[in-house]
Amino acid sequence: MTSHSPMERAPWVLKVENLGKVFGPMDSDVLAETGPEIGTSKSSRTGTVVAAWDVNFEVAAGEALGVIGESGSGKSTVMRAIAGDHEASHGAVWLRTRKGDVVNVAAIPDSARRALRVDELAVVYQDAAEGLDLGVTAGGNVADRLTAAGWRNFAEIRHRAAHLLGRTEVPLERMDDIVRQFSGGMRQRVQLAKALANNPPIVLFDEPTTGLDASVAAGVLDLIRDLLTELGIAAVVVSHDFSVIEMLTTRCIVMHHGRVVEEGLTDQLLEDPLHPYSQRLVAAART
């Protein structure tokens, strides 16, 4: 992958190494019994599900990597393992913190991982209810991250929340409205503001526009693209939708039945997919 990456020399801030997530008993044959060649991620012998295996990639600051695949391909598993929402069974997720320390997210206690989630690593979920407290105002949701990072001055919290919500194009007159009253697109914008609250160097996007209607999705995507360029964030974008991957990322990996089947520059991969599964995905996206 790195051989044709233009960002080859840029130091990574997120590095995923041999990442694997397995549900059920694991033995030496399970891997041979699953994968794209076999056409399943579940071993018929042991019932073990290999949700993801042997996933490797690096992301540098200002770079966005796409992870694409159909439902059940393991892309969300990879994202949740990076975010620490669930524990990886194998491999490492290296993260370079702003202080320059290198931490393996997969090997630190839950409390330390949650501390990283405050200002090093943010996630924007498909379902806003996962990333937001719907019973709290838009400003309050941003305040949650700020107070977690130690902000204790009310005026400063207000100011910062207003700034972020303005930046993610949430009308300021709605800052003090409960998020539950917001439309889907507006919720995603609030989620984005919350994710960016403490300037995290890494942001993960899990299907950020799935479930939004086309025009709203286009607006949110435009916004995400602008923010990524402007803030120099390292991003991982997980989606089943090639148009999202095409718009936001420069590089991507294609996952199928828990394995990476192809990786490369997004535009090249779209022009000339090599793996039959990638070809089908691209063909489906182009119709």
Residues that bind other proteins (CB under 8 A): 111, 114, 133, 136-137, 139-141, 143-145, 147-148, 152-158, 176
Q: Which is closer to other proteins, CB of 134 or CB of 285?
A: 134
Query: CB neighbours of 11 closer than 8 A, spacing ≥ 6?
Result: 60, 61, 96
**41 near 21, Cβ under 8 Å?**
no
How far apart CA 20 and CA 77 sit, in angstroms, is 9
Q: Give the nearest distance from C-beta 187 to other proteins in angstroms.
A: 17
Which structure tokens are listed for 248?
């936001």
Q: Give the nearest distance from C-beta 29 to other proteins in angstroms.
A: 37
- Sheet with 64-68, strands from edge to edge, namely 121-124, 202-206, 234-239, 64-68, 251-256, 259-265
Q: Give the nearest distance from C-beta 9 to other proteins in angstroms.
A: 38
Q: Which is closer to other proteins, CB of 133 or CB of 169?
A: 133
Q: Which is closer to other proteins, CB of 56 or CB of 147?
A: 147
Q: Which is closer to other proteins, CB of 81 or CB of 179?
A: 179
Task: Give the DSSP H or E segment for 259.
Answer: strand 259-265
Q: Give the nearest distance from C-beta 139 to other proteins in angstroms.
A: 6
**118 near 41, Cβ under 8 Å?**
no
